[in-house]
Structure 1
Amino acid sequence: MGLSTHVLDTMHGTPAAGMEVALYTTDGTGEDARATLVRRFTLNADGRSDGPLYDNTTLKTGTYRLVFDVAGYFKARGVSLPEPNFLNRVSLDFGVARADQHYHVPLLVSPWSYSTYRGS
């Protein structure tokens, strides 16, 4: 299955349908890491991309970044957010050590907190 993501809106108890996400490959670590945009996409009604971000034949060992537009999503839902927002974009850097395995990167998010893990 490759690489996939799923976002749940913990404030409303629903999938984060309509959230904008960007996927990058990264090269290097820390302040010197370079990120290359792979694609931008909008989460569907289930809070998922419309298919895998990479399948088993295209996923490579390496480092990646998913950037979730949290503030944009909650503003679009009509949530009154302070300025500046507590969370604007959530950026998750992660590594793929075994390209033959499935990497699922879920995000549970509210305007004030988030959690992630390697899912199945």
Structure 2
Amino acid sequence: MSGTGRLTTHVLDTANGHPARGLDIDLYRVVDGALTHVRHVTTNDDGRCDAPLLSGADINVGAYELQFQVGEYFRELDGTAATFLDVVPVRFVLSNPDQHYHVPLLVSPFGYSTYRGS
């Protein structure tokens, strides 16, 4: 079942107090525990993606996982390997294809927080 909703994300670098520019994100569909790669994106200067990760006919009911490549982002930012986190996975369920799902990530090299945004 597909709809008119959309899936978006936004990444904020809380360690440095600015949007996480140039952070790679992979979106996967989860079916019976197996991951199928859907899309790869890189955040823009505002820490957002230039287009929704899913929208229209591409958004379907089911489980998904975003994998945020935060270790690579922080290593490239400061040139060191001093990061505890590498890949931050966020698994969630889209239950209504007509809704807007926004998954923000607040991240530092050593911790993160996420929630369903608006």
TM-score, normalised on structure 2? 0.91
Q: Secondary structure, in 3 states, of the residue corresponding to 1:57?
A: helix
- 1:7-59 CA-to-partner distances (Å, cap 9, x unmatched) read 0000011100100110000012xxxx100001111100111111111113321
Letter in 2 for 1:68: F
2:28 maps to which of 5, 24, 47: 24
Distance apart, 1:81 and its partner CA:
3.5
Query: Quick one: percent identity of the two aligned structures?
Result: 47
1:107 maps to which of 83, 86, 105: 105
Q: Which runs of 4+ in 1 moved over 4 A?
A: none
- 1:45-98 CA-to-partner distances (Å, cap 9, x unmatched) read 11111111111332110000000011100011116334xx42110001100111
| 1:65-104 matches, cutoff 5 A | 65-78=65-78, 80-82=80-82, 85-104=83-102
Q: Secondary structure, in 3 states, of the residue corresponding to 2:54?
A: coil
Distance apart, 1:105 and its partner CA:
0.4
- RMSD across aligned positions (CA): 1.2
**Could you list the runs of 5+ residues in structure 1 that have no partner in the other structure?**
none
Q: Which residue of 2 aligns with 1:54?
A: 54
Is residue 116 of structure 2 the alignment partner of residue 118 of structure 1?
A: yes
**Could you list the runs of 5+ residues in structure 2 that have no partner in the other structure?**
none
More strand by proportion, 1 or 2? 2
Is residue 8 of structure 2 the alignment partner of residue 10 of structure 1?
A: no
Paired with 1:77 and 1:70, the residues of 2 have a C-alpha distance of 10
